[in-house]
Amino acid sequence: MTANKASERTAGRGASSLDRALVCDTETLVWENGAPMTFYVDRGHTGRPLLLIHSINAAPSAMEIKPLFDYFRTSRPCYAPDLPGFGLSARDPINYTVELFSHAIAELINSVTDEHGLSPDIVTLSLSSEFAVRAIVERHAPCHSLTCISPTGLGRRPPPGPDVGKKINALTATPLLGASLYRLLTTAVSVRYFLNKAFTAEVPKELVDYAVRTTRQPGARFAPFAFLSMQLFSADALKNLYGALTSPTLILYDQDPNIDFDRLPELLKGNPRVHAERISPSRGLPHWELPEQTVNALMRFWTSIAEAE
């Protein structure tokens, strides 16, 4: 194992007392001036590494990508971070920004690439797609292929301006008010309600239960409030991010209650490296609802890349 110049890895669970979402080893990636990030890893097989990145919301973690991790860990090295402020990673009261998340992802991509001597295939969920693309396009993190599941940034509605974020931050900055508001947003009933919106049928119990447990950790509210302030979304992500991709890219989508894909045809027309496949019927988490269909789409995509190389 070789760490890159800017970061180092340590074994262990990280700062959290939360139980593990995935049954495998965990390590923590630490880099200069960065937030420590715990990640799950299974090195039981050789080959090109696969990096799976959960979404950003009020209660995310690597549990969100569990079906894909459990499937592909049987045939290749698999990595899945809990992004800074979530899951097993440190939840310090720091400024959780677009730059922080894209930096964290870039550091892990670089570290995984250095270890295996191969750039990874990367799979992202929702808003984390924007962070991963920033890591690839702006920080030049090596990427063999990118798959974005229900990515943000492809709708016609622009993200809110800074004034919205300032108003929300004013409500959440007070410790007592912020903690009370977060508890209201993350009751078991609330978590189940919002997760149910991402499923055509009933949300799996293990996904709800683990999401609730993540919200009970010390400092759990800090990173989610950065998301709720709406300041983690990029302006014109199609032009500034997805349109600049040169790595082979696949977008998996269908109906998502929180995201629209009105500009997806524009992206497909403007960037020949980007392709799309509809996984239907699903509502944002097709790898949970239609795991076989999702895995088959990934395998076809990776096979097409191998045949072209």
Three-state DSSP class for 190? helix
CA distance 64 to 52: 10
In a domain, 169, yes or no: yes
pLDDT recorded at residue 1: 34
CA distance 284 to 221: 23
Number of domains composing the chain: 1
Question: Containing domain of residue 179, as a range?
Answer: 7-308
* Nearest Cα to Cα of residue 27 among 95, 92, 78: 78
In a domain, 245, yes or no: yes
CA distance 65 to 288: 8
In a domain, 22, yes or no: yes
In a domain, 2, yes or no: no
**DSSP designation for 32:** T
pLDDT recorded at residue 228: 84
CA distance 104 to 86: 13
In a domain, 1, yes or no: no
In a domain, 189, yes or no: yes
Three-state DSSP class for 8? strand
Digitized pLDDT (tens) for each residue of the chain, 309 residues in all: 333 444 667 665 444 579 999 999 999 999 877 788 999 999 999 999 999 999 999 999 999 999 999 999 999 999 999 999 999 999 999 999 999 999 999 999 999 999 999 999 999 999 999 999 999 999 999 999 999 999 999 998 877 666 655 666 655 666 666 677 888 889 999 999 999 999 999 999 999 999 999 999 999 999 998 898 888 999 899 999 999 999 999 999 999 998 999 999 999 999 999 999 999 999 999 999 999 999 999 999 999 999 998
pLDDT recorded at residue 275: 98
HSE-up (13 A, CA, CB side) for residue 179: 7
Signed CA dihedral, 255, 256, 262, 265: sign only: negative
In a domain, 299, yes or no: yes
CATH code at 149?
3.40.50.1820
Residue with tokens 């508001």: 181
In a domain, 211, yes or no: yes
